[in-house]
Structure 1
Amino acid sequence: MTVEEYILSHSDPEGELLATLSRDANVNLLRPRMLSGHLQGRILKMFCRMLSPKRVLEIGTYTGYATLCLAEGLAEDGRVDTIEINDEMEDFIRKYLDQSPLSEKIRLHIGDAMEIIPGLQETYDLVFIDADKRLYTNYYDLVFPLIRPGGIILADNTLWDGKVVEETIASDKQTQGILAFNEKIKNDERVEKVILPLRDGLTIIWKK
């Protein structure tokens, strides 16, 4: 048994719908590694349990796995706004959202987050960023005014497969984007922050 297998065996199960979604993604999608997965999914739910947020924003839906996990921990009258730029993913996402008893708490937006977010007109308790790594700083600047004081931003993939400590190739814009984001957060005195070495790196950012 590996350490990760031990962790999962002593954590809450992901549930049949999420397990089915995960299997479907691994068989039929090109980049199933992008899926949040069992461990991170339970952590996202736990963050919501602790915060009991009424409004959550997710940038980068992909399959909807993390979306469903976030929705599990919402306040009773809570809602998740989730944004996916790839319209080819919509049928896959809706197939699983529609099977969930939490579907009424989830509002799916298909399109460019940079265009959609200004029109949401919400104040968010929690934001989960897991989209185009080249645009992380842009997403951060855009959502920061929408986060209430004491709210949380979670940013995924901030260790980027260890590339953050390697020599950067000039053509590798995604790694450059993550590096720029990490430096921006490091130097932002409006927030407290910590990077968890979970999977590919998860940064927790608390707005003062």
Structure 2
Amino acid sequence: MTKEIESYILSHSDEEGSLLAALNRDANVNLLRPRMLSGHLQGRILKMFCRMLKPKRVLEIGTYTGYATLCMAEALEKDAEIHTLEINDEMEDFIRKYVSQSPDKDKIKLYFGDAMEIIPALDESFDLVFIDADKRLYSDYYDLIFDKLPAGALILADNTLWDGKVLEPLHPADKQTAGILAFNDKIKADQRVEKVILPLRDGLTMIWKK
């Protein structure tokens, strides 16, 4: 997608709003890897998924700035919740700064720590899961959450095209790309789900549990 096409798409889509725009600016000025946040286009798409699916419980693995969290929370009904997990506790002040300003803050449950330890302790089932964390562990996250999902639940996995590295020869030291390749192959072979990769930004895989 060219920048011109993306600009046209964004100009004909809903605006991100003042809070998300402020978060985006803050991230680009003060964080080392601002490209990691979901951004305007993906944020509106995540919100639309929540509008359509009306999930009661959402699990987000990898909060980062909280941008995607806030986008999904916008579309959740009053009695719904999003449980969001972030391993980097240095992001806590940044995340809480913006979550606290959101009119949807009561729908958001924040957890800081290792998702591999937190997820087994969550006594919840989830209608929607968004995976955007350590690429080396995507397959492990998938295995952890699968039994917590009812039939008809949707998993969204981000970065599954990984800057096109999925098509390049794998360097032995590149554990992130190896993790994405293993995950993509795992999902392709899993007959318990239907799946499709969307060429959105860095690749977004939709996985529907049968």
Aligned residues: 208
1:75 Cα deviation after fit? 2.3
| From 163, 166, 169, the counterpart of 2:165 | 163
Take 2:189 and 2:175, find their aligned partners in 1: how far apart are those partners? 21
Take 2:195 and 2:101, find their aligned partners in 1: how far apart are those partners? 36
Check if 1:84 corresponds to 2:98.
no
| From 91, 114, 128, the counterpart of 1:112 | 114
Take 1:120 and 1:73, find their aligned partners in 2: how far apart are those partners? 23
Query: Match for residue 9 of structure 2?
Result: 7
Check if 1:205 corresponds to 2:192.
no
1:72 Cα deviation after fit? 1.0
Query: Match for residue 33 of structure 1?
Result: 35
Unaligned 5+ segments in structure 2 are none
1:7 Cα deviation after fit? 0.2
| SS of equivalent residue, structure 1 residue 115 | helix
What does the per-residue CA deviation read over 1:18-67, in whole Å, with 9 as the maximum and x for residues that have no partner? 00000000000000000000000000000000000110000000000000
Query: Match for residue 185 of structure 2?
Result: 183
Query: Match for residue 64 of structure 1?
Result: 66
Take 2:79 and 2:114, find their aligned partners in 1: how far apart are those partners? 27
Q: RMSD of aligned C-alpha atoms?
A: 0.7
1:74 Cα deviation after fit? 1.1
Read off the aligned partner of 1:18 and give its amino acid letter: L
Contact persistence 2:78–2:107 (CA under 8 A): no
Question: TM-score of the superposition, structure 1-length normalised?
Answer: 0.99
Read off the aligned partner of 1:29 and give its amino acid letter: L
Runs of 4 or more, structure 1, over 2 Å off, are none
Query: Match for residue 100 of structure 1?
Result: 102
Query: Match for residue 47 of structure 1?
Result: 49
Take 1:76 and 1:186, find their aligned partners in 2: how far apart are those partners? 35
| SS of equivalent residue, structure 1 residue 2 | helix
Read off the aligned partner of 1:83 and give its amino acid letter: L
What does the per-residue CA deviation read over 1:158-201, in whole Å, with 9 as the maximum and x for residues that have no partner? 00000001111000000000000000000000000000000000
Take 2:150 and 2:66, find their aligned partners in 1: how far apart are those partners? 25
Query: Match for residue 126 of structure 2?
Result: 124
Unaligned 5+ segments in structure 1 are none
Take 2:5 and 2:179, find their aligned partners in 1: how far apart are those partners? 31
Question: TM-score of the superposition, structure 2-length normalised?
Answer: 0.98
